[in-house]
Structure 1
Amino acid sequence: MLTNLPPQAFARRDESPDQEFYRFERLVTHIDAGAVAAVTQLYRQFLPAGGAVLDLMSSWVSHLPAEVPYTRVAGLGMNARELAQNPRLTEHLVQDLNAQPHLPYGDAEFDGAGICVSVQYLTRPADVFAELARVLRPGAPLVVTFSNRCFPDKAVYAWQVLDDNGHVALVQQYFAAANFGPTEVFAHRPKGGDPLYGVVGRVPTNP
């Protein structure tokens, strides 16, 4: 359960169906090259080489390290054309997590997962993180990265009223609500570039 949040924390300015908003592909990166490199480094550090990886809220690029092989990279996102152009995905599905947070995967199916610059759009984050805890194997990492950019009409109110430190604390609450283990926080704050924050937690090895 998420605590100390008002009832409207996960409402948005634009409550029209998300399928409409994501109907057209956006073949751009939403953070600069330095921030992308910071995401890639976290993936290099935490996602196990040769493992099965879930790229949640995926698009046309996954920012996975080019030199690291994975046996499986499953992408779940909102735009079929974007997903089809992602060369790292071995499979992909279109699903609106705000309408249906249940993930179409079995228990303990993945060795790691990432959510890149999209966590601010989840209206049911506790449900989604609980599902991630279910589909990840014990000890597997979840790497959540974000910057200070967003589509303001689709980001939840809680995200918009918080600063960078508040975003980190909010994401840590998402992990805690799903009973992940202790989280680690990483920050990339260059002068004149996009900041990039990472929160990493692992599924407990003991229930």
Structure 2
Amino acid sequence: MALEPLFPADAFRRSDETPDAQFYQQPRFVTHIDEGAIAAVTQLYREYFPANGTLLDLMSSWVSHLPPEVAYQRVVGLGMNEQELRANPRLASYVVQDLNQEPKLPFDENEFDGAAICVSVDYLTRPVEVLRDLARVLRPEAPVVITFSNRCFPTKAVAAWHTLDDRGHLALVQQYLLAAGHWHHIELLDRSPQPRRSDPLYAVIGKVK
């Protein structure tokens, strides 16, 4: 499916166009934001994800940053490295899939009560298609919580991400959701820890129509 004209043809190019499976072949058992920013992500999950719900951790790894005191019925991870996914204690199951190659999600309609995309949205080369299909697998009014900071793997982040500042990143992700359709009540949040002694943390949250 063609991307909407809103996005230039070269918006999703990367400086490293080698297969992503090759880039993510080796596990990285590190966190990509610091403790303050992680705490901000966890607090957002407390606020937006229902306890005992079924959650999808999209572009997942070895840690999901979900609040440790909250029980969920089931958490499913989808990511690029099986070793990382296997090591994640919050996942009941996982799928290894490259969303840049195959944006369609291998899940049923209305399967999940919420979805997370943590510090990964900048790597999607087909974000509109991914978010369009994500709306399919979420139940009505279920939230997606998309968080990001000012860190990334620069060679794998898309060109559009590199041209924008933090405010621009918020607007870009908002445009992804709008272009995907099926999303409303979109919020743009700055949840950076205060005072600014930590990584910044920004969030775009949308709910399925």
Regarding TM over 0.5, the answer is: yes
Q: Give the counterpart of 2:144 among 142, 145, 149.
A: 142
- 8 A contact 1:172–1:183 mirrored in 2: yes
Q: Give the counterpart of 1:194 among 172, 189, 199.
A: 199
- C-alpha distance in 2 between matches for 1:2 and 1:171: 14
Which amino acid in structure 2 is aligned with residue 80 of structure 1?
E
- 8 A contact 1:2–1:174 mirrored in 2: no
Shift of 1:3: 4.6
1:25 aligns with 2:27: yes
Shift of 1:126: 0.4
State how 1:41-52 maps to structure 2 within 5 Å: 41-52=43-54
- C-alpha distance in 2 between matches for 1:163 and 1:133: 27
- C-alpha distance in 1 between matches for 2:52 and 2:179: 29
- 8 A contact 1:48–1:111 mirrored in 2: yes
- C-alpha distance in 1 between matches for 2:4 and 2:42: 29
| Residue-by-residue CA offset, 1:84-141 (whole Å, 9 max, x unaligned) | 0000000011000000001000001000000000000000000000011000000100
Which amino acid in structure 1 is aligned with residue 201 of structure 2?
L
Which amino acid in structure 2 is aligned with residue 11 of structure 1?
R
Q: In the superposition, relative to structure 1, how do residues 172 and 163 fare at CA in structure 2: closer, same or farther (>3 Å)?
A: same
Which amino acid in structure 2 is aligned with residue 14 of structure 1?
D
Shift of 1:2: 4.2
- C-alpha distance in 1 between matches for 2:179 and 2:68: 33
Which amino acid in structure 2 is aligned with residue 187 of structure 1?
D
RMSD: 0.9
Can you give the 5+ residue segments of structure 1 that lack an aligned partner in the other structure? none
Shift of 1:5: 2.6
- C-alpha distance in 2 between matches for 1:114 and 1:199: 11
Which amino acid in structure 2 is aligned with residue 114 of structure 1?
A
- 8 A contact 1:2–1:173 mirrored in 2: no
| Residue-by-residue CA offset, 1:10-35 (whole Å, 9 max, x unaligned) | 01000100000000000000001000
Count, aligned residues? 204
- Stretches of 4+ aligned residues off by more than 4 angstroms: none
Can you give the 5+ residue segments of structure 2 that lack an aligned partner in the other structure? none
Q: Give the counterpart of 2:208 among 191, 199, 203.
A: 203
Shift of 1:79: 0.1
Which amino acid in structure 1 is aligned with residue 197 of structure 2?
G
Give the match for residue 182 of structure 1. Answer: 185
Give the match for residue 5 of structure 1. Answer: 7
Q: In the superposition, relative to structure 1, how do residues 169 and 3 fare at CA in structure 2: closer, same or farther (>3 Å)?
A: farther
- TM-score normalised by L of structure 1: 0.96
Give the match for residue 14 of structure 1. Answer: 16
- TM-score normalised by L of structure 2: 0.95
Partner secondary structure for residue 189 of structure 2: strand
Q: Give the counterpart of 2:56 among 54, 58, 62.
A: 54
Q: How many percent of aligned residue pairs carry the same amino acid?
A: 61
Shift of 1:184: 1.1
